Structure 1
Amino acid sequence: MGHFVTLATCSLNQWALDFEGNAERIIESIRQAKAAGATLRVGPELEITGYGVLDGFHEGDTFLHSWEMLARIIDHPDCQDIVVDVGMPVRHRNIRYNCRVIFFNRKIILIRPKMWLANDGNYREHRHFTAWARPQEVEDYYLEQIVGKITGQYKVPFGDAVISTLDTCFGLETCEELFTPNGPHIPYGLAGVEIISNSSGSHHELKKLDTRINLIAQATKLSGGIYLYANQQGCDGDRLYYDGCAMIVVNGNVVAQGSQFSLNDVEVVTATVDIEDVRTYRASASRNMQASRQSPYVRLDLETRLSRKMEDADPGLQPSEPIQPRYHAPEEEIALGPACWLWDYLRRCGAAGYFLPLSGGIDSCATAVIVHSMCCEVMKGISQGNQQVLKDVRRVCAEPEDSTWFPSTSQEICNRIFHTSFMGTQNSSKETRERSKNLANDIGSYHVDFNFDTVITALMNVFTVVTNFQPRFTVHGGGRAENAALQNVQARLRMVLSYLFASLLPTVRQRPGGGGLLVLASSNVDEWYANSSLKLVLSSKSSFSLTLSSLRGYLTKYDASSADLNPIGSISKVDLKKFIAWSRDNLSLPILEEFLNATPTAELEPITETYVQSDEADMGMTYAELSVFGLLRKVGKLGPWSMYEKLLHLWGNEFSPREIYEKTRHFFYNYAINRHKLTTLTPSYHAEQYSPEDNRHDLRQFLYPPFTWAYKKMEENVKFWESKGWTTGKAQRKSVKAD
């Protein structure tokens, strides 16, 4: 007989600072693990507090309540006779650490601090924690009395150690340590550790699951071993959605995998593995030569067996077979990730639903379809018998506690919690109005359609009475400032009207409880696929996303883009179009074809026989050009001069040096004068490593001086190339050589 071990890992929908709720979900996961016959249970990173506590980790209460919840878990009768790995913050010698606490039968075996901290993109762990910088060292931790009186321990080991049971040895990684070049799993494996657990708080990014699975598979394929990956799942109160997908991998093969997107609060993944398979896999001579040189770890003895005893062995028991990893297409990820994020936010915040200004364009369309997807997932959960989802949807829909309401379609749910509106003016077209109405009808949202020209007129009359000046649009002979002011009035009034309707529509519909609606934004986003020359100097990523209109400043501050949440804030324009096409076919929404073929326009200026407002004309550059500027500025981190030099190579076949200079100067002029707008961006769902939010990813000033020195260098360079005969794009001239 082999050494068969049943192991459990899990995905938990934790909520930052929901101490009692988090503790109950942890206990429930331990119950389910034991019911499946598991002898080791691994949970997500910082699962007692929730990951997104952020500066709450500076508060002493956070640490106190963590120990109080740990005491509740350790002492719970359902948490005995199983080795448990729990994530929580710990202060040791007045230093804050992100830790794992391993206990068994009311005894703490080890407190293991995180050794490599995530500190870029969405993460600022160095702001909240200190990394344990002494690998393979352990010291005493003097235990809090509230736990010590339960465990009977005065002090416990703290540091980088591994745990030896009577039949195997296991070690621990935490999230970022898997992604580092020389992660702990390498020396662990060489030191004889056979089981490695990883507690993560890893958020959803498009195609990020590929990276996780590849890293885990490669880590165990090189040196053999059993790897348990746990992750948080859900929105724990911030801009991130943690996408679960707990898994168990043996010698490079996935043997168990949980859902990546789910409305379940607790999901436990188990597998039965044979430790002998690891020992056989590690027969390589070269591997063993390296292992013989590995310095030993402190081994903490735990007098229990993880494998089944001989007398308890089931002759018919077999190890879990390898499976093919399950992946979602990017379009499906967009349908599910933001949808689950929105549902968690809604069910926890006390609001009565969502309100969206539905303009008839593709961005607000994408946001509406994501909410529709949310309602589909809620309906799916109810159909599968998820009582928590049914309870939540009844509460959000203001049903009484004894209600027996059972929705039959996603449209029925959507009509209760999703409100859309077309806010038209004399500048709006019939086509956009009809598209909005038809989409709302197909997804089931409660839709209102109206014009607010009288409100605009009343406001402008006030201005005219005070100043004795009547502003006009450019097409009517007005100046640039007048034209911008008249457009901004419409845009900002839409924001005011959005919040008015969001506040009172539940009352109009006689919804009890008094809760209002959350207003959703739909930022204009785009994507640019890097060509080979850019990849060489910038990134190996094939694409990136950014809110290009925000980067260039092509949005009105405090207009309809100002809202409570933005589900598409870091999803690319190209991906959104693919998502709309996918939704057309997979969510049975043929109306979406009209949105895919529509020409984008703000519809803030009068339409005449000779003029129709165009986004690209307003910006003074095409979206394709803006995409290149965005990549070079945000990812390439180029200033005006460096960008001009780079564009000479990238655009030299199309434009002259002077044209490139003028385009670069135009971009940086608008970037500088509109930089302040990024300080007011609506919190958005983060589905990429990059976000335009200045408080997360782009810590630059928002008051810029003119780039005069860079412009002078560029002007001199333009004159140099013109003296050499380079006055057109390379495609229209002969070769020009510099001296």
Structure 2
Amino acid sequence: MGRKVTLATCSLNQWALDFEGNLERILRSIEIAKCNEAKYRLGPELEICGYGCADHFYESDTLLHSFQVLRKLLESPITQDIICDVGMPIMHRNVRYNCRVLFLNRKILLIRPKMVMANHGNYREMRWFSPWNHLRKIEEYFLPRIILEVTGQETVPFGDCVLSTRDTCIGSEICAELWNPRSPHINMGLDGVEIFTNSSASHHELRKADQRVSLIKSATTKSGGIYLYANQRGCDGDRVYYDGCAMVAINGDIVAQGAQFSLNDVEVITATVDLEDVRSYRGELCQPHMESEPKPCQRVKVDFSLSNEDDIYLPTHQPITWHFHTPEEEISLGPACWLWDYLRRSGQAGFLLPLSGGVDSSSTACIVHSMCVLLCQAIEDNNSQVLNDVRRVVGDDSYCPRNPRELCRRIFTTCYMASENSSEDTCSRAKDLSNQIGSTHMNINIDLAVKGILGIFSVVTGTWPQFRANGGSHRENLALQNIQARVRMVLAYLFAQLSLWVRGKPGGLLVLGSANVDESLTGYFTKYDCSSADINPIGGISKTDLKSFLHYCVEHFQLTALRGILAAPPTAELEPLTDGQVSQTDEADMGMTYSELSLIGKLRKISKCGPFSMFCKLIHMWKGTFSPTEVAQKVKHFFRMYAVNRHKMTTVTPSYHAESYSPDDNRFDLRPFLYDTRWTWQFRCIDSQVSQMAPNAPKK
């Protein structure tokens, strides 16, 4: 009697609306699964059209092209003799659903719609899809003509049902359903389903992978079973990066693990597991609870076996220990893979970065260097797709990079934009880092452009603004800082468009931003300055994590130039120097440290605190460091800055999402951008609370 089954799951780098490429990658994954003798193959969520189609899901073209791809899959000889589980949008009775389509040998077995929508944070599934709310119910779905012509089926089962083969029973979960308090696998397990599958589009966030692994291990620890997890990989054309981590678990143990970060467009994970191990596990621990339910799972029978009769000598996969990346490794790998996806799909020839010699721009430079290291390693490992993409980016069909520094020189340009307020220290730090990573580096002086613009202002108004250090007002001081920052943005785009032209090379460069998540919280940057770029790989990462990342780069990449950068105080260098030394620092300008900002950001977004509730939490968290009056001052200062600068988030550069307290207005943090900056009611509540906490306050 057959008892061992070989199952395949995968991570695919799908791209929204890339139906040609998505089809090719799906077929390749099925082919690899069959080569590994798997009888079932699971793919990521909405893999046919790509998860990030957003409002393109409204278009009939997206549904039509998805069915055209499904037809190609059904007709392909590659998909024969293996159960294929693919994801696509489907309209049923004029309602759009996010579905799994399971098919075998040119026949659709069932269509399973998603029942729990991801509708928070980066996700808006309820905007495009409806959840299937009919528990344990199936209906007839009438297949479109282009599918009927292949399958000969007029209708197929559609709804909450499971697949029953000759030897086992398979039930589907789709992404967010695993995270739900009433996950479908609970009732399915109690009704005898032995194999659970989860097709996901789950994005990377720092320190998140362990949550995913823990949920999957827990799902099979409680009631036994085999769990297959598939995930999207890559940027899919948006701010988030889907980080793979395909895996197979049985009875609480991980037995197969895929990579979290990889440049491989297709990764297939297979595992051979013993169904009798599930039955034995359940027989001891779960049998008293596995009673017949009032509404058992609807079963679709299929005359097919996942196991073979002669599998007694087939070895099974044994438990493994999951390797988790450190946050520093995650910053090195995740944004680097995202940048490469963006570059190779954008049609551009490389990146340009205004490199100031500070922590933020240096972190962006190190991520590009990490990307070059990954590319060279992939080429060394004979990844032909990466080599072809590199050759296309540099415009040379015979090119093969010799090392990361040499590749960096070809695709990465850095420039130090000096003004009369810049110090020699930051200039030399930028140059030293550029030399170590290998970028093509330029020194540009912006004073002539700044004075030219101020000259125009002077001709029109008859006045010449002055810095505060020279007797000017606060408004003059701020305007003079901003004009320097905005000139740098204009010059960055000019050099990005023409620097390769000057060198006689084709193409343009993508401008990289380098504003961190904490600066975005307070708006501590100039609107339309160098923070205005094409993309920003560090826009969702805190200053604290970036510093740890640079320490990691010193050791891992031997970038010793970073030591001086880490030792220097963060500064914008937009005000006049004092005796040749920097007199302006970021933390002094902001009125709080970066570590304080990170905590405030988490309370604002994750704990959902307004000014008063944030004050109430911080008086305990900062007890012994700040008095209630000082806490109140910091909270009110933050919310004033937040309110005054919130409008900047409407134009913020698309950033790699890495932090759960990101203030990105465009997708993740939907809040007004015009506030009453006085916060009169809220601040009055804080002041009232402070007065009650004063040592001599009368007791009520």
> Is this contact kept in 1: 2:515–2:538, CA < 8 A?
yes
Q: CA deviation at 1:657?
A: 4.7
> Is this contact kept in 1: 2:191–2:293, CA < 8 A?
no
How far apart in 1 are the matches of 2:177 and 2:73? 26
Q: CA deviation at 1:648?
A: 4.1
| Mean Cα deviation higher: 665-674 or 247-256 | 665-674
**Pair 707,29 (structure 1): closer, same or farther in 2 beyond 3 Å:** same
**Pair 195,656 (structure 1): closer, same or farther in 2 beyond 3 Å:** closer
Unpaired runs of at least 5, structure 2:
none
**Pair 458,145 (structure 1): closer, same or farther in 2 beyond 3 Å:** same
| Aligned partner of 1:417 among 408, 411, 436 | 411
How far apart in 1 are the matches of 2:53 and 2:307? 37
Q: Please tell me whether residue 355 in structure 1 is matched to residue 327 in structure 2.
A: no
Q: CA deviation at 1:309?
A: 3.0
Describe the superposition over 1:230-275 as per-residue Cα deviations: whole angstroms up to 9, x where unpaired. Answer: 1111111001111112111111111111111111111111111111
How far apart in 2 are the matches of 1:630 and 1:327? 26
Q: Please tell me whether residue 676 in structure 1 is matched to residue 636 in structure 2.
A: no
> Is this contact kept in 1: 2:229–2:247, CA < 8 A?
yes
Q: Please tell me whether residue 519 in structure 1 is matched to residue 519 in structure 2.
A: no
**Pair 431,282 (structure 1): closer, same or farther in 2 beyond 3 Å:** same
Describe the superposition over 1:205-232 as per-residue Cα deviations: whole angstroms up to 9, x where unpaired. Answer: 1222211111111111111111111111
Look up the equivalent residue of 1:521 and give its one-letter code: G
User: Could you tell me which residue of structure 1 aligns to residue 364 of structure 2?
Assistant: 367
User: Could you tell me which residue of structure 1 aligns to residue 500 of structure 2?
Assistant: 506
**Pair 446,291 (structure 1): closer, same or farther in 2 beyond 3 Å:** farther
Look up the equivalent residue of 1:230 and give its one-letter code: A
**Pair 620,209 (structure 1): closer, same or farther in 2 beyond 3 Å:** closer
**Pair 208,623 (structure 1): closer, same or farther in 2 beyond 3 Å:** closer
**Pair 671,181 (structure 1): closer, same or farther in 2 beyond 3 Å:** same
User: Could you tell me which residue of structure 1 aligns to residue 30 of structure 2?
Assistant: 30
In the alignment of these two chains, the number of paired residues is 698
Query: What is the correspondence of 1:172-183 to structure 2 with a 5 Å cutoff?
Result: 172-183=172-183
| Aligned partner of 2:437 among 414, 432, 443 | 443
> Is this contact kept in 1: 2:19–2:48, CA < 8 A?
yes
How far apart in 2 are the matches of 1:406 and 1:194? 48
| Mean Cα deviation higher: 464-473 or 701-710 | 701-710
**Pair 106,561 (structure 1): closer, same or farther in 2 beyond 3 Å:** same
> Is this contact kept in 2: 1:191–1:294, CA < 8 A?
no
How far apart in 1 are the matches of 2:144 and 2:203? 32
Describe the superposition over 1:345-370 as per-residue Cα deviations: whole angstroms up to 9, x where unpaired. Answer: 11111011111000000111111000
User: Could you tell me which residue of structure 2 aligns to residue 566 of structure 1?
Assistant: 536
Q: CA deviation at 1:656?
A: 4.8
SS of 2:7's equivalent in the other structure is strand
Q: CA deviation at 1:650?
A: 4.3
User: Could you tell me which residue of structure 2 aligns to residue 150 of structure 1?
Assistant: 150
**Pair 585,662 (structure 1): closer, same or farther in 2 beyond 3 Å:** closer
| Aligned partner of 1:604 among 554, 568, 574 | 574
Unpaired runs of at least 5, structure 1:
525-546, 727-736
> Is this contact kept in 1: 2:518–2:543, CA < 8 A?
no
Question: Identity over aligned residues, as a percent?
Answer: 57
| Mean Cα deviation higher: 317-326 or 68-77 | 317-326
Look up the equivalent residue of 1:168 and give its one-letter code: T
User: Could you tell me which residue of structure 2 aligns to residue 390 of structure 1?
Assistant: 387
SS of 2:675's equivalent in the other structure is coil
Normalised by the length of structure 2, the TM-score is 0.97
| Aligned partner of 1:551 among 501, 517, 521 | 521
User: Could you tell me which residue of structure 2 aligns to residue 709 of structure 1?
Assistant: 681
User: Could you tell me which residue of structure 1 aligns to residue 166 of structure 2?
Assistant: 166
> Is this contact kept in 1: 2:173–2:185, CA < 8 A?
yes
> Is this contact kept in 1: 2:643–2:673, CA < 8 A?
yes
Describe the superposition over 1:257-310 as per-residue Cα deviations: whole angstroms up to 9, x where unpaired. Answer: 111111111111111111111111111265443434464111111001110133
SS of 1:376's equivalent in the other structure is helix
How far apart in 2 are the matches of 1:54 and 1:285? 44
How far apart in 1 are the matches of 2:585 and 2:274? 64
User: Could you tell me which residue of structure 2 aligns to residue 326 of structure 1?
Assistant: 323
User: Could you tell me which residue of structure 1 aligns to residue 338 of structure 2?
Assistant: 341
Q: What is the root-mean-square deviation of aligned Cα atoms in Å?
A: 1.8
How far apart in 2 are the matches of 1:194 and 1:696? 38
Q: CA deviation at 1:68?
A: 0.5
How far apart in 2 are the matches of 1:581 and 1:115? 45
Q: CA deviation at 1:523?
A: 0.9
**Pair 711,218 (structure 1): closer, same or farther in 2 beyond 3 Å:** closer
Q: Please tell me whether residue 275 in structure 1 is matched to residue 275 in structure 2.
A: yes
SS of 1:282's equivalent in the other structure is helix
User: Could you tell me which residue of structure 2 aligns to residue 637 of structure 1?
Assistant: 608
Query: What is the correspondence of 1:63-142 to structure 2 with a 5 Å cutoff?
Result: 63-142=63-142
**Pair 8,661 (structure 1): closer, same or farther in 2 beyond 3 Å:** closer
How far apart in 2 are the matches of 1:395 and 1:193? 48
Q: CA deviation at 1:90?
A: 0.5
Normalised by the length of structure 1, the TM-score is 0.92
How far apart in 2 are the matches of 1:413 and 1:126? 43
| Aligned partner of 1:666 among 617, 637, 661 | 637
Describe the superposition over 1:614-665 as per-residue Cα deviations: whole angstroms up to 9, x where unpaired. Answer: 2122223333443443333333333333334444444464555544444333
Look up the equivalent residue of 1:32 and give its one-letter code: I
